[in-house]
C-alpha cells in the first residue's frame, strides 16, 4: 500500500491580468540609423513577489530593463516593438506578479531614444491588491 504524506499546498490563484499587444516604439521623425534587426521577437518571463500596487509599475519597468540587458549581450541596444503581459497571482495574503515582456531587438546608431517606461504603463493604475 502506498501512502502520500505530502502536505497539500494551496495553489496560486490568478487574480487579474493586463495585456499590451505589440506597439512600435520608434518614431519615424527620430534621427536614427538601424544597422541590424533581430530575426524574431524575444520574450522574457519574470516573477516578482509584491506588496503594494506601486510594485506593479516597478516590476514592469524592471522587466523591460532586464530584457534590454539580455539583448545587449547579443549586440542589440533598442526594442523596435514592445509588448507585455502582467498576471497577478494570490496565495492567501501573499501576492506575486508574473510578467512576460517581449520586443523586437535592433542595433541602432545616432540619437538612440532613451525611454525608461514600458508602453501604456498607466493601465496598471486600475489594479488593486485584495486579501483573501
* pLDDT tens readout for residues 64-119: 999 999 999 999 999 999 999 999 999 988 999 999 999 999 998 877 766 668 88
* pLDDT tens readout for residues 40-74: 999 999 999 988 777 888 999 999 999 999 999 99
Q: Quote the CA–CA distance of 130 and 44 in Å, as a whole number.
A: 27
Q: Does residue 31 surpass a pLDDT of 80?
A: no
* 0.75 exceeded by pTM: yes
Q: Quote the CA–CA distance of 43 and 115 in Å, as a whole number.
A: 19
Q: Quote the CA–CA distance of 32 and 76 in Å, as a whole number.
A: 14
Amino acid at each position: 500500500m502506498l501512502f502520500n504524506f505530502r502536505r497539500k499546498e494551496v495553489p496560486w490563484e490568478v487574480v487579474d491580468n493586463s495585456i499590451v499587444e505589440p506597439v512600435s516604439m520608434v518614431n519615424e521623425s527620430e534621427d536614427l540609423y538601424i544597422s541590424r534587426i533581430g530575426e524574431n521577437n524575444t520574450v522574457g518571463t519574470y516573477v516578482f513577489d509584491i506588496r503594494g500596487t506601486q510594485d506593479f509599475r516597478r516590476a514592469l519597468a524592471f522587466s523591460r530593463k532586464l530584457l534590454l540587458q539580455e539583448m545587449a549581450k547579443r549586440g542589440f541596444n533598442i526594442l523596435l516593438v514592445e509588448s507585455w503581459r502582467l498576471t497577478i497571482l494570490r496565495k492567501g495574503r501573499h501576492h506575486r506578479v508574473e510578467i512576460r515582456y517581449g520586443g523586437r531587438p535592433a542595433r541602432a546608431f545616432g540619437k538612440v531614444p532613451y525611454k525608461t517606461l514600458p508602453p501604456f504603463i498607466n493601465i496598471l493604475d486600475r489594479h488593486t491588491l485584495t486579501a483573501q
